[in-house]
Amino acid sequence: MGMTATQKILAAHAGVAQVEAGQLLEVPLDLVMGNDITAPVAIREMERAGLFQVFDPQKIALVLDHFTPNKDIAAARQSAEARAFARKHGITHFYDVGAMGIEHVLLPEAGLIAPGEVVIGADSHTCTYGALGAFSTGVGSTDMAAGMARGTAWFKVPRAIRVTLTGAPGAYIGGKDVILHLIGLLGVDGASYQSLEFVGPGVGALTMDDRFTIANMAIECGAKNGLFPVDARTEEYLQGRVTRPWTDYAPDGDAVYDREVVLDLSALASQVACPHLPSNVKPAADLGDVVIDQVVIGSCTNGRMEDMRAAASVLRGRRVADGVRCIVIPGSQAVYRQSLEEGLLAVFVDAGAAVSTPTCGPCLGGHMGILAEGEKCVSTTNRNFVGRMGHVSSEVYLAGPGVAAASAVTGRVTTPAAIDN
């Protein structure tokens, strides 16, 4: 019986020729990641278990990104704990204020992820790295602690859904529209503990930034991971970033999938996930007159260069509507610097937007844009649960950077095509 790409990666790391869905495996890890919220918990658990050495200081990444620059004393204490641990153990890949970025933007950018690798992170959107053909998934802080100490993790081999992509996306349509549409079809638990494996001629029409966005939100339909094939675009992205050997694992022709979903990218319109689930998806043009108070452009989902460029293309020469707060958060220092060099930050400031240092910030209701009672926000983040960005009566509409920027201009949920007319 053939194996999916995910199953092949897990089998190769476990040193076995064949695996089947549902099988339990102990798998060596290529990277263990934590942030300023999850790493301190993992550090305490590791030491409470009497484990005082890390398995490899070069295979652990600590990124202080959620509540940084620190928003309060509690956040400062957590960051201080992570800094002390990084110094004590000589952690190679430690990223602090001024050098960090949002973890799932930063780690691929820094060359820490390669095709065929196995990565765990104490953050649910660790599945982002499947865009590079790696098996990556989110875990709890206890699993992170065990991973840092032992360098292995236990997995149940996932079943899989094949997502066949055809066609090419039209103007203003990007990875966020693709994944929102797919989550709308599957539901928030429609891929529970399964791999989403993306195949088909449409994959080549997607940029790497599109793929990162799609893989990032695989968890929002319950998937264990999202995985893209390695192609010429992937190899171009890896050049100059990854110098170590890597392996491209392709699915067997007779691999077993629970189901297949076919998406014609050319038929997609701008999508919006309405409150209060990422699966409550509608075409943006069908929403009617939804008046908003805030727009957030950034996050590990849409904080990359293409997102900055898409937002700037809409905001250039326009102004944010009166009564609307527009917050732009580049996903890393490199994205910030490139945006500066391309004049995009000036576009945002001239339009009346606030530009932040890289941080997760408002995505999880942390800081830099908390919503008050009854306020509505269009956000390029990944979750819109009740109270996700502030008060429990606030509402979050998830969208791509084009829709977010157009909505900032009009003060209502709007497609970029609508303001071009």
| pLDDT computed for residue 194 by the predictor | 96
Q: What is the pTM of this model?
A: 0.96
Q: Which two tokens stand for residue 266?
A: 């050319």
* Per-residue pLDDT tens digits for 344-397: 999 999 999 999 999 999 999 999 999 999 999 999 999 999 999 999 999 999
Question: H helices within 49-160, ranges in order?
Answer: 73-89, 103-109, 141-150
pLDDT at 421 over 80: no
Domain layout of the chain by residue ranges: 5-264, 270-420
DSSP string computed for 323-343:
T-EEEE--SBHHHHHHHHHTT
Contact 401, 303 (CB under 8 A): no
Nearest of 138, 225, 210 to residue 180 by alpha carbon: 210
- Mean residue pLDDT of the chain comes to 96
- Asked whether this chain's domains 5-264 and 270-420 adopt the same fold, the reply is yes
- The sheet with strand 118-121 has its strands ordered as 93-95, 60-63, 31-35, 118-121, 135-138
Rounded to whole angstroms, the Cα distance separating 252 from 303 reads 34
pLDDT band at 62 (very low <50, low <70, confident <90, very high): very high
Give the strand pairing for 271-273 and 294-297: unpaired
Rounded to whole angstroms, the Cα distance separating 226 from 216 reads 8
pLDDT band at 288 (very low <50, low <70, confident <90, very high): confident
CA–CA distance from 96 to each of 78, 110, 233, 355 (Å)? Answer: 12, 14, 30, 19
* Per-residue pLDDT tens digits for 97-145: 999 899 999 999 999 999 999 999 999 999 999 999 999 999 999 999 9
Average pLDDT score over residue span 84-89: 97
Q: Which residues pair with 255 in a beta bridge?
A: 2
DSSP string computed for 283-334:
EGGGS---B-SEEEE-HHHH-SHHHHHHHHHHHTT--PPTT-EEEE--SBHH
pLDDT band at 3 (very low <50, low <70, confident <90, very high): very high
Rounded to whole angstroms, the Cα distance separating 272 from 294 reads 15
CA–CA distance from 62 to each of 83, 89, 178, 326 (Å)? Answer: 9, 12, 30, 29
pLDDT at 195 over 70: yes
Q: Which two tokens stand for residue 393?
A: 């009566």
* Per-residue pLDDT tens digits for 4-17: 999 999 999 999 99
Rounded to whole angstroms, the Cα distance separating 376 from 191 reads 29
69 upstream amide cis, omega within 30 of 0: yes
| pLDDT computed for residue 419 by the predictor | 86
pLDDT at 1 over 90: no
* Per-residue pLDDT tens digits for 228-258: 999 999 999 999 999 999 999 999 999 999 9
Across 296-329, b (16+ Cβ under 10 Å) vs e yields bbbbbbbbbbbbbbbbbebbeebebbeebbbbbb
pLDDT band at 420 (very low <50, low <70, confident <90, very high): confident
367 upstream amide cis, omega within 30 of 0: no
395: three-class secondary structure by DSSP: strand
One-letter amino acid at 349 equals V
Average pLDDT score over residue span 155-183: 96
Rounded to whole angstroms, the Cα distance separating 32 from 21 reads 24
Pick 329 or 1 by higher pLDDT. Answer: 329
Instruction: Output the CATH code of domain 270-420.
Output: 3.30.499.10
Nearest of 309, 301, 242 to residue 273 by alpha carbon: 301
Half-sphere exposure of residue 159: CA atoms within 13 angstroms, side-chain side = 11
Class of the CATH-defined domain 5-264 = alpha beta
For a pLDDT cut of 90, what percent of the chain falls above it? 98
Based on its alpha-carbon atoms, the radius of gyration of the chain, rounded to whole angstroms, reads: 20
Q: Which two tokens stand for residue 399?
A: 């969208």
